[in-house]
Amino acid sequence: MPANLPPQYKEAEDRYRQAKTTPEKILALEEMLAIIPHHKGTDKLIGQLRKRLSQHKEESQRRSSTARQVDPFAVKKEGAAQVVLVGLPNCGKSQILGSLTNAVPLIADYPFTTRAPLPGMMKFENIQVQIVDSPPFMDEFAETGLANLIRNADALAIVLDLTEDCGTQIDLIQEELNRRRVRVLKKGEERKPEIGQYPKRALLIGNKADLKEAQENCRQLLDRFSKEYPVLCISAKENLNLEEARKEIFSILDIVRSYTKAPGKNPDWDDPVILPKGSKVLDFASHIHKDFAQKLKFARIWGKEKYDGQMVPRDYVLKDGDVIELHI
């Protein structure tokens, strides 16, 4: 019986053959097993793939147990979300990190000063967002680790040097992201799981806007790309438009802040419940306590689009800033 393998399987198989590291091989094999049709003609091949996957996983575990150093590219997520700064050499990512957060990066006028990721916490209103400076594209030392860092991020901030042609920079960065199977979502595009792809929301940040030669490039950047992507021109060095940058970074995170309110008391504004966009009252209740979802009778809500204390159903979709009073 013929296997009749789909084109997507062949693509995953090519990625496996080209993979240089064990984690990349494991990822490709898992994709192949997810894509391959299950019938008598593929039983033997599936068995071979599973055996190969098991061998690679055992190899990975052996290497992990004997490794003395922690992977510097494995940045633990903290705060409400993680945003990774990406860009070409000398675009000013480190300066942006230092201006937006509490981190103290090495800032210099020569390229490749950042050789490993450096995280910092950015305060936006009542939450903290983790911003991570990354080695620039074209740094061969950071090749594999940088790919994993970007894929794991909640969103990206693509940093552009406004003293250079931004269109050319974006083409190069897009090529690098595509090579790592990372796809930047356009405005209004729904984020859906994609086999073999890592869809990410991103903000295009034109940096060095304080320099004279940057003005025309900023205008061209906005004219050409702002219809499809969020775009902002800033100067991290001169603290120009940094508050707007914080707002724009929050806007690409696909999260909402909701607040608890006990009957007869004021809301707890200091400790928002962070949930993905599209979450419902039932999700909010489950986050507060696992039993609340089953016991929930109704909820009252205070928010921009509702009158104060309005009763809402369990499947009401939350908006950023909603205050929820649960009744069980």
Interatomic CA distance for residues 97 and 102, integer angstroms? 8
- What pLDDT is stored for residue 139 in this prediction? 57
Which of the four pLDDT bands, split at 50, 70 and 90, describes residue 38?
confident
Interatomic CA distance for residues 40 and 11, integer angstroms? 22
Residue 120 maps to a domain? yes
Claim to verify: residue 152 and residue 199 sit in the same structural domain: yes
- What pLDDT is stored for residue 3 in this prediction? 63
Domain range for 164 is: 82-251
Interatomic CA distance for residues 254 and 276, integer angstroms? 6
Claim to verify: residue 207 and residue 126 sit in the same structural domain: yes
Position 24 pLDDT exceeds 70: yes
Domain end residue (candidates: 214, 229, 251): 251
Position 129 pLDDT exceeds 70: yes
Claim to verify: residue 225 and residue 265 sit in the same structural domain: no
- pLDDT single digits (tens) 202-224: 999 999 999 988 999 999 999 99
Task: Tell me which DSSP letter residue 186 carries.
Answer: P
Claim to verify: residue 134 and residue 164 sit in the same structural domain: yes
Position 62 pLDDT exceeds 80: no
Which of the four pLDDT bands, split at 50, 70 and 90, describes residue 302?
very high
Residue 232 maps to a domain? yes
Which of the four pLDDT bands, split at 50, 70 and 90, describes residue 23?
confident
- Residue 272 belongs to domain with CATH number: 3.10.20.30
Residue 76 maps to a domain? no
Position 191 pLDDT exceeds 80: yes
Claim to verify: residue 292 and residue 242 sit in the same structural domain: no
Structure tokens at 282: 């039932």
Hey, which of 24-38, 41-55, 64-78, 274-288 has the most confident mean pLDDT?
Answer: 274-288
- pLDDT single digits (tens) 177-189: 999 999 999 999 9
Domain end residue (candidates: 234, 251, 268): 251
Claim to verify: residue 46 and residue 123 sit in the same structural domain: no
Which of the four pLDDT bands, split at 50, 70 and 90, describes residue 1?
very low
Interatomic CA distance for residues 123 and 233, integer angstroms? 20
Residue 77 maps to a domain? no
Query: Torsion-angle region of residue 79: left (phi > 0), alpha (psi -120 to 50) or beta?
Result: left
Report which of 251, 207, 204 is spatially closest to residue 229, judged by C-alpha positions: 204
- What pLDDT is stored for residue 270 in this prediction? 86
- pLDDT single digits (tens) 42-53: 888 888 888 888
Position 282 pLDDT exceeds 50: yes
Claim to verify: residue 302 and residue 222 sit in the same structural domain: no
Residue 318 maps to a domain? yes
Q: Please, are residues 94 and 106 in contact by the beta-carbon 8 Å criterion?
A: yes
Interatomic CA distance for residues 224 and 189, integer angstroms? 18
Q: Please, are residues 284 and 319 in contact by the beta-carbon 8 Å criterion?
A: no
Position 138 pLDDT exceeds 60: yes
Residue 2 maps to a domain? no
- Residue 121 belongs to domain with CATH number: 3.40.50.300
The residue among 237 and 195 whose pLDDT is bigger is: 237
Reduce the DSSP state of residue 104 to 3 states and report it: coil
Residue 137 maps to a domain? yes
Q: What are phi and psi of 229, to 5 degrees?
A: -135, 155
Position 37 pLDDT exceeds 80: yes
Position 2 pLDDT exceeds 70: no
Which of the four pLDDT bands, split at 50, 70 and 90, describes residue 297?
confident
Domain end residue (candidates: 40, 66, 92): 66
Claim to verify: residue 242 and residue 98 sit in the same structural domain: yes
Claim to verify: residue 138 and residue 201 sit in the same structural domain: yes
DSSP H or E run through 44: helix 43-66
- pLDDT single digits (tens) 67-124: 555 677 788 999 999 999 999 998 999 999 999 998 877 665 545 556 688 999 999 9
Q: How many structural domains is the chain composed of?
A: 3
Interatomic CA distance for residues 115 and 142, integer angstroms? 7
Claim to verify: residue 117 and residue 244 sit in the same structural domain: yes
Claim to verify: residue 137 and residue 150 sit in the same structural domain: yes
Which of the four pLDDT bands, split at 50, 70 and 90, describes residue 140?
low
Claim to verify: residue 230 and residue 151 sit in the same structural domain: yes
Residue 1 maps to a domain? no
- What pLDDT is stored for residue 109 in this prediction? 57
